[in-house]
Structure 1
Amino acid sequence: MNSKIIGSILIVAGTAIGGGMLAMPIISAGVGFGGISIVLFLIWLAMCYTALLFVKIYKYNPHDSGMNTITQKYLGKTGSIITAISMLTLMYALISAYISGGGAILSSNLQLWLHIELSPTQAALVFTVLFGGIVSLGTKVVDFTTKWIFSIKLLFLVLVIAALFPYVRLENLATLPVERALIFSAIPVIFTSFGFHVVIPSLVSYLKGDFKQLRLVMIVGSAIPLVIYLIWEIAVLGSIDNGIFMRIIHTNVGLEGLLLAIRQISQAPITNIAVNIFAAAAILTSFLGVALALYDYIKDLGKNKAWISNSYTAIFLTFAPALGFALYYPKGFILALSYASISLVILSLILPVLMLIKAKRQAQEKISLGMKIGFTGIFILSTVILATQVFISLGKVPHIG
């Protein structure tokens, strides 16, 4: 397996394993390990399947075709506008969330280790300039950087899990859902945690449309998060009593509740350090993957307009709106993750199916019965996720965190 394939696999896995993983035990607390494992597997299966569908679309298109190019070809102007709105909304929201979260972690670490204090504005600016600059250097540099950061992320995740596993109890893992409706409220966050489809056009171009390599990248790259998520859930949900965990996260909403729960499990200072570094690396790998996808998408969107496709303009348009949101809404991290699933459903589930159907019809190829069954399952899942998010927003479905 060559380094380009390994790097591409890590870009897929690194883009998926981000802030959503940190929120996962929180939204899983009332569901239990058994229920959340089923949700994880089903969503991974759907996301891996649609990623492979996305790759198949490139059989009918040049490997350097961007997202805007192929959506306009198969879904027309209306489809390309819907795609553009969904793509930009999703990626700007996520990049803003990662700037906000990454800036906060950068600030706390500088204060802890070097006694340097940064305001939220300064921290966000430093984070964006420092790591946004990596994206402007292209896929190869992001590939190289992601390999190292992903390795660091895995190392410190292993340290955290190793610290928690001695406290894992089977009775904690056997806990039944506190309320059945909580399983539905967990779906949007779990779904967002497998959101890597935005990097597919960049990887197709990077691997020059080699379908065998791309299939391997999509399957292995998406399976790595599934395995890591399951181990992570075992470590956290299995090491703390569900009732205690629920009380902690009701009192301390969000990431603070998770960190407090882990501190109560293990008092060792190394655990707190490992969690802190892991959280930073998780946010950074997702930031690089999503920012790379947005950068390439903007260049493709403006390929007929020199002032937009210019690298300097493209990098400005990639980060300026997200940075502005992060500066004005420094606590927008959880808000972005909560609603990202709506745009992600359109981009990751609905669009690949619609475009492949259109591509096959244009090529006068029949759609097999197996594909028709798969497409039906994808549309059912899409409806469930969208409806769940709407009902959560209306307060009709209970949720945690």
Structure 2
Amino acid sequence: MKLFGSSLILAGTALGAGMLAIPMVLAQFGFFVSAGLMFVIFIGTTYATLLLAEACTKTQQSTSMSSTAYFTLGRKGMHFTNILFYLLLACLMIAYTIGIGDLLHSMLLEVGVDLSPVVGYTIFSLVMGLVVVAGKAYIDKLNRGLFILMIAMLFVVIFSLMNNIELANLSQESGFSVNDVVQYSAVIFTSFAAIIVIPSLVSYNQDASIAQIRNMVLLGCVIPLVCYLTWLFAVIGNLGVEAVSKFENISQLIAAFDGETDLLKSVVAIFSALALITSYLGVSMALYDQNKDAISKNPLIAYALTFILPLVLATLFANQFISMLDYAGMVLVFLAIWGPLAMAVKVRKPDFPQVGREQTYTVGGGQAALVATFMFGALIFVSWFMG
């Protein structure tokens, strides 16, 4: 259950952004082109995630990206990784905080309570911070319950929407070029890359076998792919490409189900909120571990840096949900593709001191897979400049 819970933390970290951003970003390409793009990005991100897991098993005391980088890439590599890590986590925490505030505002309006998004996400962030500070066992149990509830909500939504699926909607396209597909690859890439939690999870499961670590990563990466494809199928099949392509935020996506029952609209809203919360938990866990590892062991200082500083930034960057995910995509190329690639190359050298576990994990694929991973990162990096 501990390993299964870790897979759900990995999957939940990815799902929050993707579930809400993917329909709005990919609808213009139609279901089939979008599914192909998602599968390619899934392969690339999963392999890079396994590379980082390999590096974590071959280094000592790798509890965060900072310490893993230090033991593999040295002090300069650690500083570079830390800068990228904080840029990434700032973008993700801002995006999730904005999304949660927007959802809380719209959900409470339905019951006659007018709570501003700022007040909503401030209360949420401070309370969830207490759970993260309490420890990974508490995060695991809370995330496990929220994730199972989220999947149950997803099945209710899918089952309800299946009655109104129009197959003609799935093959619709709004007119796009190859450049458009490449341009939005960064946002989709961000929706799959939950790699930031790997050092924390490998440390949490330090007694697990190498096969169990590998399977934990694989399951945590497959779950988002299945959920994304199912969700995209239901949304495009019901609403059509043209309607979904016009959405600019989460509230508009939920409002599009006005023609359905009030119960379904409420379920979609709750499902969206749970997707954001599970992502928020994973990202804040990784950031809290990073702050304790790289800046201060003092829980109060780490808490303030992890939860209070992003609140200030979220207020400054309101209404920038998709933009924050886009910015995160470029940073992630270095941190989640080229970073693990460099670490794996380092730990595979004959002179690297194997000071980690009794068993160490080496990802298959050899040199060809490493070259392909580098090229995959280059594709995502280039896509960011095509906006």
TM-score if structure 1 supplies the norm length? 0.88
Distance 2:307 2:350 in 1: 37
Of 22, 41, 50, 1:43 maps to: 41
Displacement after TM superposition at 1:174 (Å): 2.4
For 2:11, the equivalent position in structure 1 comes to: 13
- Residues 245 and 297 (structure 1 numbering): CA distance in 2 closer, same or farther, change over 3 Å? closer
> 1:133-212 counterparts in 2 under 5 A?
133-176=130-173, 178-180=175-177, 181-208=179-206, 210=208, 211-212=210-211
For 1:101, the equivalent position in structure 2 comes to: 99
- Residues 244 and 143 (structure 1 numbering): CA distance in 2 closer, same or farther, change over 3 Å? closer
For 2:379, the equivalent position in structure 1 comes to: 384
Distance 2:26 2:64 in 1: 36
For 1:330, what is the secondary structure of its paired residue? coil
- Residues 99 and 59 (structure 1 numbering): CA distance in 2 closer, same or farther, change over 3 Å? closer
The letter for the 2-side match of 1:6 is F
> 1:1-400 counterparts in 2 under 5 A?
3-62=1-60, 64-113=62-111, 115-176=112-173, 178-180=175-177, 181-208=179-206, 210=208, 211-246=210-245, 249=246, 252-263=247-258, 266-302=259-295, 308-363=296-351, 370-392=365-387
Distance 1:369 1:215 in 2: 11
Percent identical residues: 32
Verify the 8 A CA contact 1:345 1:382 in the aligned structure 2: yes
Distance 2:50 2:267 in 1: 35
The letter for the 1-side match of 2:250 is L
Distance 1:349 1:19 in 2: 19
For 2:349, what is the secondary structure of its paired residue? helix
Say which is worse superposed, 158-167 or 279-288, in terms of deviation: 158-167
Verify the 8 A CA contact 1:94 1:290 in the aligned structure 2: yes
For 2:357, the equivalent position in structure 1 comes to: none
The letter for the 1-side match of 2:291 is I
- Residues 144 and 369 (structure 1 numbering): CA distance in 2 closer, same or farther, change over 3 Å? closer
- Residues 373 and 128 (structure 1 numbering): CA distance in 2 closer, same or farther, change over 3 Å? same
- Residues 61 and 124 (structure 1 numbering): CA distance in 2 closer, same or farther, change over 3 Å? same
Displacement after TM superposition at 1:111 (Å): 3.9
Distance 2:243 2:85 in 1: 39
- Residues 186 and 332 (structure 1 numbering): CA distance in 2 closer, same or farther, change over 3 Å? closer
Distance 1:357 1:48 in 2: 17
Unmatched tracts of structure 2, length 5 or more: 355-361
Deviations 1:222-279 (A, max 9, x none): 1001111111111111223334444xx0xx423344234333xx42111210111011
Displacement after TM superposition at 1:176 (Å): 4.8
Distance 1:245 1:357 in 2: 42
Distance 1:31 1:331 in 2: 24
Distance 1:230 1:351 in 2: 28
Say which is worse superposed, 324-333 or 170-179, in terms of deviation: 170-179
Distance 2:386 2:38 in 1: 21
Verify the 8 A CA contact 1:63 1:208 in the aligned structure 2: no
Distance 1:333 1:368 in 2: 34
Aligned residue-pair number: 377
Verify the 8 A CA contact 1:120 1:327 in the aligned structure 2: no
- Residues 243 and 110 (structure 1 numbering): CA distance in 2 closer, same or farther, change over 3 Å? closer
Verify the 8 A CA contact 2:59 2:71 in the aligned structure 1: no
Distance 2:41 2:230 in 1: 17
Unmatched tracts of structure 1, length 5 or more: 303-307, 393-401
Distance 2:239 2:319 in 1: 27
- Residues 368 and 338 (structure 1 numbering): CA distance in 2 closer, same or farther, change over 3 Å? closer
- Residues 73 and 63 (structure 1 numbering): CA distance in 2 closer, same or farther, change over 3 Å? closer
Distance 1:32 1:106 in 2: 30
Displacement after TM superposition at 1:193 (Å): 0.7
Displacement after TM superposition at 1:89 (Å): 0.8
Verify the 8 A CA contact 2:170 2:240 in the aligned structure 1: no
Deviations 1:38-60 (A, max 9, x none): 11111111111111111111332
Say which is worse superposed, 162-171 or 287-296, in terms of deviation: 162-171
Q: Which portions of structure 1, spanning 4 or more consecutive aligned residues, are displaced by more than 6 angstroms?
A: none
Displacement after TM superposition at 1:132 (Å): 1.6
The letter for the 2-side match of 1:168 is I
Say which is worse superposed, 183-192 or 103-112, in terms of deviation: 103-112
Distance 1:292 1:360 in 2: 29
